[in-house]
Amino acid sequence: MATAAQSSPMADRVKLAAALLIFTGALGYSVYLGATSGPLLRLGVVLIGLLAGAAVGWTSEPGKRFHAYCLDAITETKKVVWPSRKETIQSTGVVILFVIVMAIFLWIVDTSLMVVVRFLFGREG
Predicted confidence (pLDDT) per residue in 30-76, tens digit: 888 777 777 888 888 888 888 888 888 888 888 888 889 989 999 99
Q: Residue 125 has what DSSP assignment?
A: -
pLDDT, residue 124, reads 65
Phi/psi at 45 (nearest 5 deg)?
-60, -45
Q: Residue 37 has what DSSP assignment?
A: S
Stretch 83-95: mean pLDDT: 96
Q: Report the C-alpha gap between 42 and 50 in whole angstroms.
A: 12
Query: Taking the alpha carbons of 79, 71, 74, 17 in that order, is the dihedral positive or negative?
Result: positive
Cβ(27)–Cβ(33) under 8 Å?
A: no
Q: Residues in the chain, how many?
A: 125
Each domain of the chain, given as residue ranges in start order, spans: 9-78, 81-125
Task: Write down the pTM of the prediction.
Answer: 0.48
